[in-house]
Structure formats: structure tokens, C-alpha cells
Amino acid sequence: MPTAPALSVALRGIARRFADAHGGERLVLRDVDLTVGAGEIVALLGASGSGKSTLLRLIAGLDAADDGLVLLGGTAAAEVDQRCAVAFQEPRLLPWRTITRNVQLGLPRGTGRGPGRERVSELLRLVGLGAAAALRPRQVSGGMAQRASLARALARGPGILLLDEPFGALDALTRLTMHDLLLDIHAAEPATIVLVTHDVDEALALADHIVVLGKEPDREGATIRAVLPVSAPRPRDHSDPDLARLRAELLELLGVLIPSHPSTAKETT
Amino acid sequence: MSTTRERDAGVATGAAPAVPATLHQYATTYGYSAAGTALATPRRAGRRRRWWPVVGGLIVPGAVLAVWWYASTAGQVPAYLLPSPPAVVASAVDLFERGLLLPYIGISTQRVLLGFAAGAVMGLVLGAAVGLSRTASILLSPLIGALRAVPSLAWLPLLVLYLGIGEVPKVVLITIGAAFPVFTTLAGALRHVDAQLVELGRAYGLGRLGVLATVQLPAVIPSIVSGLRLALAQSWLFLVAAELIASSMGLGFLLIDSGNNGRIDRLFLAIVLLAVLGKLTDGLIGVLERRLLGRWGTA
Ligand SMILES: Nc1ncnc2c1ncn2[C@@H]1O[C@H](COP(=O)(O)OP(=O)(O)OP(=O)(O)O)[C@@H](O)[C@H]1O
Ligand SMILES: [Mg+2]
């Protein structure tokens, strides 16, 4: 199965405004500068509404920045850039198609019937949906739908894989299995992966770099607050003191109070 | 696009994405779909008592027939106001023997089917244009909306003046009547196709035609079928309007002619025939509906 070579992603001075309810404009993202090396895994962390999905859509060319530049492999991103494959925050499965036929939608154009079918059933097996292949989306659970959506993005074999909270609806155990799966696939077909998550431990388990998106005090619009490298070799051990330090740092960046009184701790994500 | 609210909704309802409110739903909610209600009820119930929908559906019509029969033979209602069921059957036999019954039924059915087919094609083409293209919508919507507001009978004198009293004006009138429901349901349904699914199609490399074939068309098939159902009902309505005024044969003519001659038995016969034919042709669409929903439905 030919897969595209991994491509770098570069964001240069990205800003995005949206119309607000009162006919004015609201700055959602500003001054976003980021470089993701080809084949890297980057986790994007940030509070709800900080613009993570928006940033992913900008990279995919599904949305256009008001300012700044998106470069994929050194060239500007096209409108709906086909070098990217997106797994959206919602599963977005076509309700009248079986899970298999939904995943088939992800195959690159020009994939032969035989190899296509093989790849789809292999991916379905990998994400644990082998037995659900013939079901319609309405007949599967939220987490199963999410895994189908992941399989669809993986089917593309893209240079850049954009995953918006791909494991959000999964139980802890399935989530760990999917982490291993993603790392295995990445080892076999090294795409550049940008992965949005709310889960600090997930970011620590998967990412080469963790990007924290958030607002600076008294300034409108979210921007990149920190880019933290995670250098520990995989598989990673959560008790690793380096990771523990990173974890504390991330939680603080996300506005989680590291408490002297644990009862006052407050999640803001 | 991706707001917290939508994500939460997605989690809460499992895999099923929120289905947008469509005219199809509207139509089925108000009972205008034979297969619709059958599809909505859990399959388990249907399998256990398969005879019930058929037998149950006959109870009320049977009761109506019984009351009619009793009232017409008990002598309380004079026969010139209420013919008995045997008298209506006799009038059918009589018309058949004169060689009128089958030609009347044939010509009316032909007019309905021709007008319905032409109207459906027109409605599909215009509905697709207005539903898919903003420009077409801006240019065409006001005019189509205004034309739709014209009562059907208002067209008739004009059609007779322009097209004479042959087959053409009648078929054209039915075409007008059939086109609007198809147009309205299709244009509305296309506009309400889940924008997230359309974006998904684009994200996975589908062009305009690809998105149309892969996402939009399958999504609106249930609406198209309900549009066709409404259009068929409208076709029979407009048929009677056309035949009441300018014709010398057909069921509408039978109605007006019998009314003028005081042939209450034939009047009843015409009404019964219209009911039966309408239900039969609707049943054909019901078969189409079950086929299409089996293939493109979301269940
Ligand atoms: N098409 C749009 N029109 C107007 N506002 C939008 C649009 N898309 C996003 N926004 C706004 O941009 C902000 C960021 O949205 P986004 O979906 O990127 O957040 P997020 O970080 O992905 O949040 P979550 O973690 O809850 O998914 C939100 O305040 C949202 O209201
Ligand atoms: Mg999001």
C-alpha cells in the first residue's frame, strides 16, 4: 500500500477572526507560529474553545486564515489540501453506509478494488471493528463510530494526519490500545501527526512535542503558550520523573491549580 | 463548526448524527407515508403480528361500508341522496357494459401518470438547481414561490384558451400540480443536508459532483420519495379539476355529468374509483419508498 511521505507543517503568524453575535468580530487565534518536523507527532492541548479545532481546519485548508501562512512540506496549503487527512471531532459517518463503506471513503483515489478492500478490513481489524464492519453508524456506539472515523483517516495514508480528539469517546482501556495502534502505524507509515487532546497523559504518551494553546491575560485571542519537547523513549513510563515534571508544568499552563489543598483543584479544560 | 455543544450532543446520542429537520420528517410526522410509519415502529412488533396492519387497516373502512349499507337500505335516507352499495356496483356493471368504465379509468390514469411524470422531472430539476446553487435560488425562488401561490383552478381558463380542450391542457395542469411538491421538498432537503457531512466529502477529495453523488443525493432520497407521494396525490386532485371543466370522458367528467343528471349511484362510483386508484398508485410509490429506504435509509 503506497502511503505519502511525511510532510512538515509550518504555521507563520496565523490569525483567525470570526463574526460574533453582535455583528462585530472576535479574534480566536493570533500570532500562531509553529513548525512541526516531517514525521513528528505533535499534541495540541488547550482549554475548550481555545481554537484547537480551528487550527486543525486551517492546516487542512478547510478554513482560511485572516493573517499568516500555512506551509505543508514547504509549499502553501491549498484549499482543502489533499496532503492532509482529517479525523474530525465528530465521527461524521454517512448514516446510509455501512462502517466498511464509510472507511472506504478514506482510501486515496485510484486505489484498486482488491488492495482497497484489504486495507479497509485490515484497518477495521486494527481499530477493533472487525465484527462491526457491516453495521450502519446508527447501530454502533459513540466510541465505535469514533474509531471508524480514525480508520477512515488512516486509510488515506496521508503525509499529514490531523486528529481532533480521536480518542475522546473511548474508555480508558480501549484508549490505551488505540495509543499503541497509532504508534505502531506511525512506525510503519511515518506520517506527520497533529493530534488535539484534552488529556495531558495522552499527550505525554504519544507526542514528540506538546503545544499548549491558550490566552494570555488581558489579550484577546489564543496563541501558543508553550512548546514542550518530550524526549523520553517509547513506550513511556508514567512514573518517569521527567514526565512527572512535564505533567505538572502542563497542568499549570492549562490553568489547573497545583494545590496545597487538593480540594481546591479546578479543571478548566 | 465544531463547537462543544455539537460534540456533547454527539456523545449523548451515540453514533447517530443529529438528523436535520426535513420536509420528509414533516410529511411522515403527519402520517403521509405508508412505509414511513411501518419503518418507524420497531421491527420486532411487526414480525410478531404481521397480519395486524392489514386486518387492522380494514376495520374502519369495513365499518364505514356497513353503516353506509345499513343507512341506504333501512329506508331512512331516500335513494336519490344515498345509493346502496349494490346499486353502485350495478352502475359500475352498467357502465362497463356500455364500454365506458374502462376507457374512463384508462384516460384518467393516463393523464395522471403523464402529468405526474412530467411534473416530477420538472420539480426534481428545479428543486436541485435551487437547493444546490445560491445563484439559482436567488434568481428562481421568488418567481416559483409566487407561481405556487396561484390556486390550481386559476390556470385552467388560460390553459384552455392557449391549448384547446384536448389532452394537452389537462396533462399540463397536472404537471403544474405535481411539480410544486417535488420542488419544495427537494429544494428544502438539499439546503438542510448536514453541512458537516458535506465538508467531510470535500475533505476527502470529492469535487462538487462527487459530493452530490456521495453525500447530498443519498441524504435527500427520503425527502424525494415523500415529495413524489405528495405530488401523486396532487396529480389526482388536479385531474379532477381539469376534467370537471373541459372534458368528455374520464372520472372527473363522470362526476360532473352524473351530478348534472342526478345519477347519484354513478357519482358514488366515481368517488370510490378515485379513492381506489389514488390508493393503488400511492401503494406503488410505497414500494419504491421501501426499496430506496432499505438501500439509503439510516436504519
Ligand atoms: N465557523 C465559526 N464561526 C464562528 N465562530 C467559530 C467558528 N468556528 C469556531 N468558532 C469559534 O472559535 C472558537 C474556537 O473554536 P474551536 O472549535 O476551534 O475550539 P476548540 O479548541 O476545538 O474547543 P473544544 O476543545 O471544545 O473542541 C470558539 O469560541 C468558537 O465559538
Ligand atoms: Mg474542538
B196 and chain A in contact, CB less than 8 A: yes
Asked if B14 and A142 come within 8 Å (Cβ–Cβ), the reply is yes
CB A107 within 8 A of CB A119: yes
Distance from CA of B61 to the nearest CA of A (A): 37
Query: Measured between alpha carbons, how far is A257 from B75 in angstroms, rounded to an integer?
Result: 91
Report the CATH architecture of B84-296. Answer: Orthogonal Bundle (1.10)
Of residues B1 and A91, more confidently modeled:
A91
For a pLDDT cut of 70, what percent of chain B falls above it? 83
| A76-90, A148-162, B71-85, B183-197: the lowest-pLDDT one | B71-85
Query: Ligand 1 pocket check: which of A52, A88, A164 to mutate, most ligand atoms within 8 Å of Cβ?
Result: A52
B133-140 mean pLDDT: 93
In this prediction, the residues of chain A whose per-residue pLDDT falls under 50 are 260-269
CB A130 within 8 A of CB A120: no
Task: Please tell me the distance between residue A46's alpha carbon and the centre of ligand 2 in angstroms.
Answer: 10
Average pLDDT score over chain B: 84
Whether this model's pTM surpasses 0.90 = no
Q: Which three cell numbers stand for residue A111?
A: 486505489
For residue B15, pLDDT over 70 is answered with no
Q: How confident is the model at residue B65 (pLDDT cuts 50, 70, 90)?
A: very high
For a pLDDT cut of 90, what percent of chain B falls above it? 61
Of residues B52 and A203, more confidently modeled:
A203
Q: What pLDDT is stored for residue B130 in this prediction? A: 94
Q: For residue range A204-213, what is the model confidence (pLDDT) as tens digits?
A: 999 999 999 9
Q: What pLDDT is stored for residue A258 in this prediction? A: 55
Q: Which three cell numbers stand for residue B38?
A: 411501518
For B26-35, b/e burial (b = at least 16 CB within 10 A) is ebbeeebbbb
Of residues B233 and B24, more confidently modeled:
B233
Q: Beta strand A25-36 with A9-19: parallel, antiparallel or unpaired?
A: antiparallel
B248-261 mean pLDDT: 91
| A143-157, B39-53, B164-178, B276-290: the lowest-pLDDT one | B39-53
Q: What pLDDT is stored for residue B30 in this prediction? A: 39
Tell me what ipTM this predicted complex has: 0.90
Q: How far is CA A37 from CA A46, A125, B73, in A?
A: 21, 30, 93
For residue B28, pLDDT over 50 is answered with no
Task: Write the DSSP assignment of B238-254 as a string of letters.
Answer: HHHHHHHHS-SSSHHHH
Q: Which atom of ligand 1 is nearest to the CA of A51?
A: 18
Q: Which three cell numbers stand for residue B129?
A: 438547481
B76-90 mean pLDDT: 89
> Pocket around ligand 1: residues whose beta carbon is below 6 Å from it?
A 18, 28, 46, 48-54, 89; B 1-4
Spatial strand order of the sheet with A192-196 comes to: A75-76, A67-72, A9-19, A25-36, A222-229, A209-215, A41-46, A192-196, A160-164, A84-87
For residue B152, pLDDT over 70 is answered with yes
Distance from CA of A241 to the nearest CA of B (A): 34
B42 and chain A in contact, CB less than 8 A: no
For residue B37, pLDDT over 60 is answered with no
For residue B110, pLDDT over 50 is answered with yes
Distance from CA of A174 to the nearest CA of B (A): 16
Strand locations in chain B, DSSP E? none
Task: Please tell me the distance between residue A133's alpha carbon and the centre of ligand 1 in angstroms.
Answer: 32
Query: Measured between alpha carbons, how far is A48 from A26 in angstroms, rounded to an integer?
Result: 16
Q: What pLDDT is stored for residue A2 in this prediction? A: 58
Q: How confident is the model at residue B52 (pLDDT cuts 50, 70, 90)?
A: confident
For residue B33, pLDDT over 90 is answered with no
Instruction: State in Å, rounded, how far the first CA of chain B is from the last one.
Output: 26
Q: Which three cell numbers stand for residue A58?
A: 486551517
Residues near ligand 2 ion, CB 5 Å cutoff: A 53, 89; B 2
Per-domain residue ranges of chain B:
84-296
